[in-house]
Amino acid sequence: MIDSNIIKSTIASTDDGKGNYTNPVIFADVPDIDFIRVDDAYYMVSTTMHLSPGCPIMRSYDLVNWEIVNYVYNTLGDADNLTLRNGQHNYGKGQWAATIRYNNGIFYVGFLSYATGRTYIYYTKDIENGKWDRIEFDDSFHDMSLLFDDDGKVYIIYGGGQIWCAELEEDLSAVKPGSKKKLIKDAGLVKGCLAEGAHAYKINGYYYIFIITWPPNGRRTQLCYRSKTLDGEWEMKIILDDNLDFRNDGVAQGGIIDDAEGNWYCLLFQDHGAVGRVPVLMTMTWEDGWPVVGVDGKAPKTAKIPIEGKEIKGIVTSDEFINSQIVRPYHSFAPSLEEAGENDYNGSNLAMEWQWNHNPDNRLWSLTEREGYLRLKTGDVCSSVTEARNTLTQRTFGPQCSAYIKLDLANMKEGDVSGFSAFAERYGYVGVKLEDGKKHIVMVRYDDNDEVEKEFEIERVPLEKNEVFLRIDCDFNNAADKAYFYYSLDGEAWIKIGDTLQMNYYGLHFMGYRYAIFNYATEQSGGYVDVDFFRVDDKIIK
């Protein structure tokens, strides 16, 4: 009998079980965060760019233990760049920097998509289970923040370098003509430097706008502007200039939130190497109407959990791919896409922690065709993991993590490639290739050195069986950012293969590394593999 903890066990919490947490509070890629509290529940949104479904809704009851309970959308549309068709892609674009607000019983999430060039506001009455409707704008509101004023007016605060304001119609359906105005000119510490990531609030008669700035030869720094009126003079203070003792990567971009007892907290994020951009939680007080963040001007490495006694949760999970164990289906929220065959819901239920690389073709994956397995079928012929449809991903996490899968390869076709990747722009994978009727375990690394961008097969080993275990260990300690690749024929004795991947965050994907399960055809469609399980832990082997 399968242990229910293995069926769906979440991991990657920094809760030590003794009432304390460690910063980063989520040691995984959760960038561009925004959050609200409704009664005793906190909800947070984040950037997921080219992944589908997009814009996760994360819930917590203590600001430390977060779980994914929904997504704002399944797909933004069906264009080629959103679906990896006809040589087009959406890497590093898609959904950016969402804002979340709650007003008069309705939840709102807004963001700009750099894939479509449009701004969206989604809304629902049931944030965890409800259907989302959306409003579209032709305007590109960069790093937008919704502001519901106490006089009933609704604004979008946005911009980079300069901070702007646009008033919306009462039903949020459009921007009021002539309402756009500049609030803050040259909002950064130095003229012309980065100044973005607006989070806007109205508190005790003041308008507050929190932004990130990045002065030359400096580090990311969090600023706060305030004014009694939107059209008034804006005062500014630096509220955090700290790197959490990690290189010179400052902790900045985010906002503030209170609890039911009137205590205040600040959540920002930090670029943390190849694992991605990680949230940092700090206490906050008020002095003379200004927020005072952290401890002695610094982000604490450890602190007490704000609300004690809550269940430990995380946003990464092991999965046995048992369809009946997951109660929430993979919804399609956009009515306009319901007639598009490849987007039709296929009856399979994926755990919330999973996201596809670009829009999936729902005809080519299943949890029901073979009970207890994820079936991945090949579709269009392609030549690399970055071009492959239906690549299924979860976050890696720090300071270290290890995951392995079991593959049944009996139904591969000539030219098929299937495996397990540490996935970002500079990726590596351990997988199986079927060539000339023979299977080989391979370790492959993508490199873009010397102005050459291609995959390099580092090592191959003949495989006589139809089942194999593939494993990847990731070490993010002190920005080591290394991935190690292994295979096994029995799931116990592991053999290292290939070389070490030096992971690198920056690049086209603009995203922390992901564990990715893939299967693609290089010659003909119609083959498939069955994935028995995905198991993840916070310990690695070397």
pLDDT tens for 139-174 read 999 999 999 999 999 999 999 999 999 999 999 999
Contact 382, 376 (CB under 8 A): no
What are the residue ranges spanned by the domains of the chain?
A: 20-304, 373-537
Topology of the domain comprising 20-304: Tachylectin-2; Chain A (2.115.10)
Q: Which of the pair, 30 or 539, is modelled with greater confidence?
A: 30
Residue 480, CB-side half-sphere exposure with 13 Å CA sphere: 13
Residue for token pair 């009998």: 1
Helix (H, G, I), strand (E, B) or coil at 337: helix
Q: Decide if pLDDT at 376 tops 70.
A: yes
What's the token pair of residue 123? Answer: 């809304």
Read off the DSSP letter of residue 381.
Answer: B
Report the b/e string of 379-417 with b at 16+ CB within 10 A: beebebbbbbbbbbbbbbbbbbbbbbbbbbbeebeebbb
Q: Tell me the β-bridge partners of 352.
A: none
Q: CA–CA distance from 443 to each of 328, 459, 461, 491, 500 (Å)?
A: 35, 5, 9, 18, 10
Q: CA–CA distance from 105 to each of 43, 101, 229, 427 (Å)?
A: 14, 10, 26, 44
Average pLDDT over residues 288-317: 96
Q: How far apart are CA 366 and CA 360, in angstroms?
A: 12
Q: How confident is the model at residue 337 (pLDDT cuts 50, 70, 90)?
A: very low
Helices (H), 307-369: none
Q: Decide if pLDDT at 73 tops 60.
A: yes
Burial label for 316, CB within 10 Å (0-12, 13-18, 19+), is buried
Residue 58: the pLDDT is 98
Residue 507: the pLDDT is 82
Per residue in 79-90, pLDDT (tens digit) is 999 999 999 999
Q: How far apart are CA 487 and CA 94, in angstroms?
A: 34
Peptide bond into 335 cis (omega under 30): no
The mean predicted confidence, pLDDT, of the chain is 92
Per residue in 473-498, pLDDT (tens digit) is 999 999 999 999 999 999 999 999 99
Q: Decide if pLDDT at 342 tops 90.
A: no
Q: How far apart are CA 165 and CA 454, in angstroms?
A: 44
Q: CA–CA distance from 402 to each of 396, 502, 518, 540 (Å)?
A: 8, 16, 18, 5
Residue 449: the pLDDT is 65
What's the token pair of residue 158? Answer: 């946005």
Burial label for 537, CB within 10 Å (0-12, 13-18, 19+), is middle
CATH 1.10.260.40 for the 373-537 domain, yes or no: no
